[in-house]
Every structure is written in C-alpha cells, then in structure tokens.
Structure 1
Amino acid sequence: MKINYLLVNIIMLCLTANILVAQGTANSTTIIEPTLSTVVTIEINGMACQEGCADKIASNLNEKKGVISTEVSFKDKKGIIVFDPNLVSIEDLKSVITSTKVKDYVYTINSVTIKEKK
C-alpha cells in the first residue's frame, strides 16, 4: 500500500514539473532580427550540363554558411545566389564556384552583378 502511495506521488510530481516547464516555455518570446540579404548574379563559363555541372555548383554553394538560396542554370550560364553578406563574401562564393570539381571541367567567372535586398 505504501509503495502504491509513493508511486502515485512520484507520478504527480513528474506531471506537475512537466506542466510548469511547458508553461515557462510557452510564455517565452523569440525575437528574430531581420538581416539584410544580398542577391548576386554570377555568369559562369565552363558548364557542360545542368545535371552535373550546374547542379553540383548549386549544391556546393548551398553548403556554404550564409547562403540562403541558389539557382544555377546551365542554359543561362549563370547563378543567382541570395546570401547574408555578414556571413559570406562574394569572393567566397566565387571561390566555391571555381573550385567545384566535376570530371575535368574548369569553371570561370565572367561577371558579377550585385543587388541588395531586404
């Protein structure tokens, strides 16, 4: 009988603790600071196809901290990258592109056009 009473008290204590923790979490406020992002269009030479070259370049760019989104097109021979300039530089992005390895292809940058975005 004492064991049942003790077990019920332990369960009640655990439930009470869970409720208190949940209430404390529900009342907390998370503030997300808006960051200024930059959009850059980079003309890329040396891509041979979409599935290999362009998709691999996009994948490598997306792995870079600070890159928000990437769209690389073999057809248009360019990449459009949205990134946080506080975390990654245009030089870093260019380096990712030119150091991407697919077979023996060499990727070069023709031009860079920058557009700031909110």
Structure 2
Amino acid sequence: MKFKVLFLFVTIFTLATNVSLAQEDATLPTEIENSSSSTILVGIDGMACQVGCADKISSNLMETEGVVSSEISFENKNGLITFDPTIISIEEIETVITGTKVKDYVYTINTVTSKDN
C-alpha cells in the first residue's frame, strides 16, 4: 500500500513539474531574429587596445537590450553592430559606446554606415 501511495505521489509531482516548466517556456521571449534587425558599421576613435577597450565596448553593447551582436575591432577602429531598431536606436548605441569607461580613454564616433540591404 505504501509503495502505491509513493508511486502516485511521484507521478503527480512529475506531471505538475512538467506542466509548470511548459508554462514557463511559453512565456519566454522570442528571439530577436524573428523581428526586423539592422546592422551598422560604426567608426570608433580613442581605443588603445583590443582586450581593454574594444572588448569592453562590445561587452557593454551585448548587455544592452535590443543589441543582437557586437563585433568591435581595435585594429580596424570600428564595430559591426546588429540590433533591433524597435527596441534601441542608433543614438542609444552611440551613447553606450561613448559612455564606456576604461581608464581615462574617451571614445568618439566618427562614422555610422548602415549595412542593411
């Protein structure tokens, strides 16, 4: 009898957990790729190296809602940024870049070119 009660309890617990997890999955946001995205090439002045400056700018951008990808290059002095324009504007992206703080470096934007077709 105890085995049947234990088995019934485990079965109900398992079903309840699966239903709960299925509901959580249904409420997760959809990927930004399903919506429209834009890509820009941003010329950036003031970077001193890849690891300190460029990687920090990229990290800050990736932590920003609406930014899908960020490839910042110290060598090329630019960044290729893909974003959802319904969530974030080009001006806000520029603010993230120029607002990045690494030591006393000051980053400025010299060009913004759209890479959309």
TM-score computed with the length of structure 1 as normaliser: 0.78
Aligned pair partner of 1:9 in 5, 8, 17: 5
Q: What is the CA-CA distance between 1:86 and the residue it aligns to? A: 1.1
Q: What's the counterpart of residue 44 of structure 2?
A: 44
Tell me the residue number matched to 1:98: 98
Larger Rg: 1
Unaligned runs of 5+ in 2: none
Give the residue type in structure 1 aligned to 2:90. I
Give CA-to-partner distance per residue, 1:61-103, whole Å, 9 cap, x none: 1110111110000010000001111111111100001011111
Please list the CA deviations of residues 47-74 of structure 1 after superposition, one character each: whole Å capped at 9, or x if unmatched: 1111111111111111101111100000
Structure 2 residue identity aligned to 1:12? L
Change (3 A) 1:38 1:15: same
Residue number in structure 1 paired with 2:85: 85
1:76 aligns with 2:76: yes
The count of residues paired between Structure 1 and Structure 2 equals 110
Quick one: distance in 1 between partners of 2:60 and 2:17? 41
Match of residue 114 from structure 2: 114
Q: Distance in 1 between matches of 2:69 and 2:26?
A: 27
Separation in 1, partners of 2:3, 2:86: 54
- Give the superposition deviation at 1:14: 3.9
Identity across the alignment (%): 47
Please give the secondary structure, in 2, of the residue aligned with 1:52. Answer: helix
TM-score normalised to structure 2 length: 0.79
Q: Distance in 2 between matches of 1:38 and 1:85?
A: 7
Q: 14, 35, 44: which one pairs with 1:18?
A: 14
